[in-house]
Amino acid sequence: MKKVMTSFFTLVFFLTISTQALAAEDRPTIPYFGLGATVQEVIEGEFLVKTEGAKAEEGFVYTPPKPFTKENIKLQITLKGKGTVILKLEETDARGQYIKEKNMEVTLTEDWTTYEMTFTLESPSSQIDASVITKSEEKAEFSFKNLQIIEE
């Protein structure tokens, strides 16, 4: 009887583990990292960001997975919401050392609006972090889609 119970519990344990592992594989990961905020995909390609409001500069950051081949790049993003956010491009070297950044303040509207910001890299091998962050310490909610960093 003891052997049967041990086998039963072992079987249940492995079935539970494999079900959770399969469920995790079905959930696609998004390439956006929340900074004091949650980022969730509401419909395909459209994301909602909700900040905690604990400090300024909450929002999300995106790092392109592939290196660039040219020095001139352009950030394009479509946003809607309320309040003011900052679009920020930050360049770092291969060791993560800060090189430079560029910011653009944007007043959001309830209509989708596309924003562009150009940037010249010190080196195409640099890493770029693109952020959309709050200007001040406040709870904020905004949506974005069509985020691209393209070479010019």
Q: Domain map of the chain by residue range?
A: 31-151
What is the mean predicted confidence (pLDDT) over 84-112? Answer: 95
For residue 1, pLDDT over 80 is answered with no
pLDDT at 124: 87
* Arch. (CATH architecture) of 31-151: Sandwich (2.60)
pTM value is: 0.79
What is the mean predicted confidence (pLDDT) over 69-84? Answer: 95
* Beta pairing, strands 46-51 & 72-81: unpaired
Structure confidence at residue 5 as a pLDDT band (50, 70, 90):
very low
DSSP secondary structure letters along 38-94: EEEEEETTEEEEEE--SSSS-EEEE--SS--SSSEEEEEEEEEESSEEEEEEEEE-T
Max CA distance (Å), the chain:
73
